[in-house]
Structure 1
Amino acid sequence: MRTETIDIRTDKALAECLEVDRPVAALAFDYAANDHVPAHEHVKAQLLYAIEGTMVLSTREGKWVLLPTRALWVPAHTRHSIRMRGPVRMRTLFLDDTANIPMASCAAVSVSPLLRELIVGMLQEPPRYAPASRGAQMAALIASELRVCQSLQLSLPWPKDQGLRKACDAMQRNPTLAGDMEYWASRLSVSSRTLARLFRSETGMSFGEWRAQLLLLEAQVRLAQGQSSSRVAKALGYASHAAFCAMFRKATGFTPMEHPEREARIRPDD
């Protein structure tokens, strides 16, 4: 399996986007499956978006799964890393303080058709667009869209406790219903009561709530990749396809076949 670590610090186009004195600058990156961008931060805020493929972004506070109908707002000076789940065509924006986006922490947001086209269109504008140009007008529209876009509860809180982080890493590498509280407590050589307390204090969730969120995010990734709902249900350890569908509908309001992520279609850049 190919895995490449990408050092974006050497990218000249990125340096120009971060240095240019404009409210919004756009940049395109294409990645192969399993490429990894190591932990880094930017002097400007970033809107991470992929018109194709799935990314997993990690910070000290949590993890976010980004599919083609979602983007992630990353404030300036927020240290983060990115792992590609399959080939990814990233189209990202860098915004300075003059864009006036009122989001002080990482947040997943929905990407409307208008915002998507504005992001793609912004890539055709020079970084130093004139104040009254098409680029300036598009930048103003992008900022306006971001001020009203819907925030989505799609993060997976990540613990700071090193022992618990190891357990959560293991569960993320092999997401499944198998292994109850007692199993993971035994793996960590602690009591189940201690593990329950750790999960609540470190993530704000119970063990069951945290694992359910992990499985929900993983299910959405696999469905978006084209896997059948019955295959996903089996891979994640659900007793039956019906049980998986019931969980999914309760959590999202959609059945797996109705979920918007599954219906997202890849379109080429203009």
Structure 2
Amino acid sequence: MPSPLITPARASSDSPLLVAVAEQSGAQRITAPHYHSRGQLLGATRGLLSVDTNSSRWVVPATQAVWIPPGVIHGLRSHGPFEGWSVYVSAASCTDLPDRPRMMTTSGLLREAVARAASWEGDTLNEAQSRLAGVILDEIRTLPEEFLGLPMPQDARLLKIARALSDRPDDERRMEEWAMWAGIAPRTLTRRFVAETGFSFTEWRQRVRLLKSLEMLAAGKSVTTIALDLGYGNVSAFIALFRRTFGATPGRYESLLH
């Protein structure tokens, strides 16, 4: 297991109000589920990260970041060697920051400010550093939210299905078969999936496949292989759906990952 980006003592401290870390490794990074009293904004410099909380899952490219409020359990996995950064914000400074996990599009200003803050040493911020820390907090507070995450249901039966599909998004079982497997009536599954995730079962399964396709692109797989492996009978249909969701073709998106 990789060592923490900051020490547990620093992760639970209120001083300084902001700690930034950037790291580049030749190895994959996998962080087991954990929590700390600081809020955390994390992102990739290159490639993709998968970030999980109890309620959501995100696949995060270098143009975006995920905000984790204090006390929220979360884990991380890089797809390939880890190149990423994190900003840890003291609990006292999180009172007017988002109170739930969210994905956001980063700005050039945020990325440059984080790069500067990652060079700071010590546990006391001088006047100039405090001003730049305030800029970072303003960016976290005001950057637009992205809705490309995957909400996880809370009902234990639905969560069982969701986790199985997350592990094997190419599983072609029909909704009725999933309902029987999990011990829930099909009509109840249909109703509760919408109520708990905001997506129909079919839409949710489509979303988990698209997020899996990002991981496969990062691994260097071809668009045709990805489409067929994920159960799309028509490669053109996969490309069109990908473009509608992510605003770029898979080929164009892949070029942004490397």
The two structures share one fold, judged by TM-score above 0.5: yes
- Measured in 1, the distance between the counterparts of 2:207 and 2:113 equals 31
Q: Normalized against structure 1, the TM-score is what?
A: 0.83
Q: How much does 1:109 deviate?
A: 0.8
Deviations 1:164-219, CA, capped at 9 Å, x for gaps:
22221111111126222122123224432232133223323210111111112122
- Measured in 2, the distance between the counterparts of 1:46 and 1:81 equals 12
**Structure 2 vs 1, CA of residues 12 and 168 (structure 1 numbering), >3 Å: closer, same or farther?**
closer
**Residue aligned with 1:21, SS:** coil
Within the alignment, does 1:121 sit opposite 2:120 as a pair?
no
Unmatched 5+ residue regions in structure 1? Answer: none
The one-letter code of the counterpart of 2:87 is: L
- Measured in 1, the distance between the counterparts of 2:6 and 2:208 equals 36
- Measured in 2, the distance between the counterparts of 1:100 and 1:194 equals 38
Q: How much does 1:18 deviate?
A: 4.0
Within the alignment, does 1:160 sit opposite 2:154 as a pair?
yes
Partner of 1:194: 188
The one-letter code of the counterpart of 2:246 is: T
**Which moves more between the two structures, 63-72 or 184-193?**
184-193
Partner of 2:57: 63
Deviations 1:219-245, CA, capped at 9 Å, x for gaps:
223224433322221121111111101
Q: How does 1:1-270 map to 2 (within 5 A)?
A: 5-6=1-2, 8=4, 13-16=7-10, 18-19=12-13, 21-29=15-23, 32-33=27-28, 35-96=29-90, 97-98=92-93, 101-133=96-128, 135-176=129-170, 178-259=172-253, 262-264=254-256
- Measured in 2, the distance between the counterparts of 1:147 and 1:163 equals 35
Q: How much does 1:252 deviate?
A: 2.8
Q: How much does 1:19 deviate?
A: 2.0
**Structure 2 vs 1, CA of residues 51 and 70 (structure 1 numbering), >3 Å: closer, same or farther?**
same
- Measured in 2, the distance between the counterparts of 1:53 and 1:246 equals 23
- Measured in 2, the distance between the counterparts of 1:117 and 1:225 equals 28
- Measured in 2, the distance between the counterparts of 1:143 and 1:56 equals 23
CA contact (8 A) 1:47 1:92 kept: yes
Q: Normalized against structure 2, the TM-score is what?
A: 0.86
**Which moves more between the two structures, 193-202 or 241-250?**
193-202
Q: Please, what is the CA RMSD of the aligned residues?
A: 2.5
Q: How much does 1:44 deviate?
A: 1.4
Q: How much does 1:63 deviate?
A: 1.3
- Give the aligned length: 256
- Measured in 1, the distance between the counterparts of 2:50 and 2:182 equals 26
The one-letter code of the counterpart of 1:140 is: G
**Structure 2 vs 1, CA of residues 52 and 251 (structure 1 numbering), >3 Å: closer, same or farther?**
closer
The one-letter code of the counterpart of 1:117 is: E
Identity of aligned residues (%): 29
- Measured in 1, the distance between the counterparts of 2:223 and 2:248 equals 12
- Measured in 1, the distance between the counterparts of 2:152 and 2:61 equals 20
